Amino acid sequence: MSLNALEVKNLTKRIKGRNIVDDVSFSVEKGEIFGLLGPNGAGKTTIIRMIVSLINRTNGSVVIDNYNLDNNFSEAMSSLGAIVENPEFYKYMSGYKNLKHYARMAKESITEDRFNEVIKLVGLENAIHQKVKTYSLGMRQRLGVAQALLHKPALLILDEPTNGLDPQGIREFRDYLHLLAREGISVLVSSHLLSEMQLMCHRFAIIEKGKLIHISNMDETVSEEEVSVREVTFEIEELEKAVDLLANSGMEVDVISRKDSALVVKVAKEAIPLVNKLFVENQIAVYGIYVVKATLEDRFLEITNQKREEEIK
């Protein structure tokens, strides 16, 4: 029995002799939020559409909760909940009646307890009997998640789920996904919003031009330990004197900016105490040293730029 809720192997989509998705393989563990990152047009939505069988695969296999799509299609789809585009509902009906309508299409009957459980899970208890036309975009997104969760899927797939949401809506939606993960539901989510994915996902894969070029654990990717050269702010007196000292020190330090009492430099991790020592020994008071933690955006640009340089070579 696999510990993965989703296994994708050698997934390929060819259109007019060109590979839109090219030999992509990855897995999503149970209770994990896994992100597909990449610019618009990279192939993320095509990958998702193949997984949920909205379009045919040219090659490759998809296994959902141990069910192969080719051999056990009905069982695999029963283990899946998905929102591939903005969820559409009957706006003149209440959220509850919309859920009831979708429940009629489920393979197995859904109990009233399950309705209440899902409604509470997505935080719509106070609005579920209001008409959908009164809902905000964030509330409609949550209703979409509720609809996708009714039949207790092992895997939830979301394509650009935060599009159109305001910052408060994005934060609420992220919190719901974390709650789902703690409940043991796996989530595959695609987005081009790197800062949001950094807060949302446990692991991620980068898709560029239809190829999977990197896959990594989020915490390891954005940890300071992985970055040898970093941006550091020294809160000091006598900025100009400090800059001159650095220029004549022989150390590899790049000055990025200097304003008021803040000197921002790029420097190797092991050189930070040496810079501090240089200032102190030359009677420059140091009031603070602040290291800027690497972001997913930094890592994303580093990986994609490196890949392009390899292609040029």
pLDDT value for 225: 45
User: Does residue 243 share a domain with residue 119?
Assistant: no
Helix (H) or strand (E) holding 278: helix 272-281
Q: Do 232 and 215 have their domain in common?
A: no
Res 269: pLDDT = 80
Read off the pLDDT of residues 83-139 as tens digits, 9 standing for 90 and up. Answer: 877 678 899 999 999 999 888 877 778 889 989 988 887 888 999 999 999 998 888
pLDDT value, residue 303: 66
Residue % of the chain over a pLDDT of 90: 32
202 within domain boundaries: yes
Q: Answer yes or no: do 62 and 181 share one domain.
A: yes
**Within a domain: residue 65?**
yes
Residue 113 sits in the same domain as residue 177: yes
Q: Does 87 fall in a domain?
A: yes
If asked whether residues 188 and 214 sit together in one domain, one would say yes
Report pLDDT for 131.
Answer: 95
Question: What pLDDT, on the 0 to 100 scale, is given for residue 266?
Answer: 84
Listed residue (200, 202, 115) closest to 150, CA to CA: 115
Q: What are phi and psi of 94, to 5 degrees?
A: -75, 165
pLDDT score recorded for residue 135:
92
Tell me, yes or no, whether 156 lies in a domain. Answer: yes
Residues 183 and 284 in one domain: no
How many domains does the chain fold into?
Answer: 2
Residue 9 has pLDDT above 50, yes or no: yes
Query: Looking at the domain assignment, is residue 299 inside a domain?
Result: no
Range of the domain at 243: 228-291
Q: Within this chain, do residues 212 and 238 fall inside the same structural domain, yes or no?
A: no
Residue 222 has pLDDT above 60, yes or no: no
Residue at a domain's end among 197, 221, 245: 221
- CATH label of the domain that carries residue 268: 3.30.70.980
CB-based contact 65:180 (threshold 8 Å): no
Choose between 163 and 222: higher pLDDT: 163
Based on the fold, state whether residues 71 and 128 are members of the same structural domain. Answer: yes
Name which of 101, 192, 113, 188 is nearest 153 in CA terms. Answer: 188
Report pLDDT digits (tens) over 37-94. 888 888 999 999 999 999 999 999 999 999 999 999 989 988 898 887 767 889 999 9
One domain, residues 249 and 116: no
State mean pLDDT over 301-309. 64
Flag whether 310 is in a domain: no
Is the model's pLDDT at 223 over the cut of 60?
A: no
CB contact at 8 A, 6 and 12: no
Claim to verify: residue 247 and residue 100 sit in the same structural domain: no
The predicted pLDDT at position 6 comes to: 95
What is the band of 293 on the pLDDT scale with cuts at 50, 70, 90?
A: low
The model's pLDDT over 203-218, given as tens digits with 9 standing for 90+, comes to 999 898 899 988 888 7
- Residue 305 within any structural domain of the chain: no
Question: Does 300 map to a domain?
Answer: no
Higher pLDDT, 201 or 291: 201
Q: Which residue has the tokens 């998705």?
A: 21
SS3 270: helix
Domain's final residue, options 221, 245, 279 = 221
164 and 261, same domain (yes or no): no
Q: Are residues 285 and 211 in the same domain?
A: no
| pLDDT band at 145; cut points 50, 70, 90 | confident
Identify the residue whose tokens are 């400090």: 242
